[in-house]
Amino acid sequence: MTKDMQDESEIFRGTTTGSTRLRDARSVRGTPKAGMPAFVLGEELADLADSDPRIAVATADLASANRTNDFRDRHPERFVNFSIAEKNMITAAAGMASTGLVPYVATFASFAAILGAEAIRTDCAYPRMKVRVLGSHSGMSMGFYGSSHHALEDLGMLRCMADLTVVCATDANHLRAILRASVDHPKAMYIRLGRGRDPEVYPSVPQITFGKAARLREGTDLTIITCGSQVRASLDAAEVLAGEGISVRVVDMFTISEMDRDEIKAAAAETGAILTVEEHNITGGLGSAVTEVLIDLPRCRFRKHGVPDKYVEVGPPAALYAHYRLNAEGVAEIAREFHSA
């Protein structure tokens, strides 16, 4: 067996002969229901629908996986299961929006964003229909299901579509805030979710504004700009680095389009170095969006960190995050290298 084959085998099985811990009990069981974004999705939408008759929900045979069944149980007259017809679901949602409804359509991110990209662009964004496309289990969080179920290109594909707001939920409370703010947002939206086992970042539901980033930690030596699943890992990495005398600012750039240019400018001017961290292909995503701002500014040290421009190995999510250095330990290692370079 070659070294590469051995490494891939270890990732698949979640084992390793090295020091990196690939198994993570939180990736299987033990996270409280209230702390899982996938578990608050249907509940929050149902709560909103109690006082807003415009809200409707649709899914594509994934009501249990994304917990939209919580909405179905409370508002069955406003719930539709489209079976495995994701593109039709998105187009139908545009029709619903044209009648004054505010439809939320939910499926795995790979099917919502990648399979449904044309319907999002032509049927939702172009006519500015108030459709909210919810892509859960984004990035490589589907693990063993492989590249057909991974969504590592969705931000790059969708952020370049005009009149489409693209946001990333960080944890359960952040998702609640996004859903509440989305109801009267004037544009079509793509809301990127994790797999529903995302560790807490926001201890309560924050006040948010689309297009305005959240600075979660101050720092003077470098800034980590991140989103979604990588916010917790980046905060934990910053804490480790603080013990080594490296002061790291952490920014949750949860709106990918249209992003907070002022926060990027502030990071460049005040810390002089920016590291982007994302669970996405390093081509086209958050890192690329940040470079589009930096190119017009005075020189700032910059590095992108994410998934290499390749199809990732198959394995348990915790093992994949460790392998691609997207856990706290890996992010700290990357930031340390960047700071000392």
Shared domain check, 176 and 57: yes
pLDDT reported for residue 37? 59
Tell me which of 192, 220, 237 is where a domain ends. Answer: 192
Q: Which domain holds residue 14?
A: 3-19+211-340
Tell me which of 192, 219, 248 is where a domain ends. Answer: 192
Shared domain check, 220 and 158: no
Each residue of 66-92: pLDDT tens digit?
889 999 999 999 999 999 999 999 999
186 vs 290: CA distance, rounded Å: 25
265 lies in some domain:
yes
Average pLDDT, the chain: 90
Strand partners of residue 273: 301
User: What average pLDDT does this structure show over 266-287?
Assistant: 97
pTM: 0.89
Helix (H/G/I), strand (E/B), else coil: 237: helix
User: 321 exposed, middle or buried (CB, 10 Å; 0-12, 13-18, 19+)?
Assistant: buried
46 vs 93: CA distance, rounded Å: 17
Shared domain check, 168 and 250: no
Q: Which amino acid is at 242?
A: A
Question: For position 172, which CATH number holds?
Answer: 3.40.50.970
Shared domain check, 86 and 63: yes
Angle at 281 between CA 277 and CA 285, to 5 degrees: 70
334 contacts 325 by C-beta, under 8 angstroms: yes
For residue 6, pLDDT over 60 is answered with no
Shared domain check, 185 and 48: yes
280 lies in some domain:
yes
When divided into structural domains, the chain yields a total of 2
300 vs 307: CA distance, rounded Å: 23
42 vs 68: CA distance, rounded Å: 4
Shared domain check, 216 and 186: no
Angle at 37 between CA 176 and CA 133, to 5 degrees: 75
Shared domain check, 113 and 228: no
pLDDT reported for residue 23? 47
Question: For position 241, which CATH number holds?
Answer: 3.40.50.920
24 lies in some domain:
no
203 lies in some domain:
no
pLDDT reported for residue 19? 43
pLDDT reported for residue 30? 38
More confident residue, 261 or 9: 261
Shared domain check, 77 and 113: yes
Tell me which of 164, 192, 220 is where a domain ends. Answer: 192
